[in-house]
Amino acid sequence: MTRPHPDSQAPFLSAPHLAATSFWRSRYLAIAPPVLALLFALGLWLALEPARLKELTAEGGLVERPTELLYFALAAVMWWWRRPGDDLLGWAALCIVFVAFGAREMDLHKAWTGGSMLKLSFYLREAPLVQKLVSGAVVLIVAAAGVFVIRRHARSVWQGLRRRETLATTVAIFLVTMIVSKVFDRSINILAEDFGIVAPVATGVLVGAVEEILELSLPLVAAIGFIQHRRGNLS
């Protein structure tokens, strides 16, 4: 009996790999989480009473808690899934940034200081010296990590966008989604404080739900980018 040539089976053996590669190569794959988040927020707003939706999307609620855990999990997986040739300092900086995002979602800064570690007034008011020193050190470490990431990758991301690379597009989607979520976060307060416009309760609840659920999509977008990086950018 004649055995088939090994190469004749290659297309069948590689088919799942090719399908997976094609999936992750999709340039706009990362837009799926924020779009689904918007639709999910709108669906909850239509289906639930404002009080119930506000409870779900409140600080420390059922929506925010997974966001915190996803950031910590992403940082842990990124650090564990390093390769021998990886830039150790670069990975450490990126992991610190994601851990800081998770800690920010948990409001650990408020639990530690009772306010914001970023305000100068915190360091000028009466507070334990150790609290000020630790807070200042954390702020400096996170700021240094953020600056390092920007300086190390900003140019390559911009060049990748011009070349229509998949990973660069994912990074851009992450940044745009973050900006949009912050706009939603501040919009109701800005309208009330700066323009004297008080939004209806239902509108305020919808805006809050969109902001929280959009934030939930951010670590998912980052995870997609990480997988794309591990698969060789897939330009």
Q: Tens digits of per-residue pLDDT, 171-207?
A: 999 999 999 999 998 888 888 887 888 888 889 999 9
62: tokens are 């059922």
pTM for the full predicted model: 0.84
d(CA 180, CA 160): 22
Q: What is the pLDDT of residue 2?
A: 46
- The pLDDT, as a whole number, for residue 23 is 75
pLDDT at residue 13, as a whole number:
44
Burial of 185 (0-12, 13-18, 19+ CB in 10 A): middle
Quote the pLDDT of residue 234. Answer: 46
User: Which amino acid makes up residue 21?
Assistant: T
Kindly report the number of other CB atoms within 10 A of residue 92's CB atom: 15
Give the N- to C-terminal CA distance of the chain in Å, as an integer. Answer: 44
In angstroms, rounded to a whole number, what is the distance separating the alpha carbons of residues 235 and 94? 22
The mean pLDDT values, 10 residues at a time, for the chain of 235 residues are: 45 53 80 96 94 87 89 95 85 95 85 74 79 88 96 94 94 96 89 83 91 95 93 58
How many beta carbons lie within 10 A of that of residue 126, not counting itself? 4
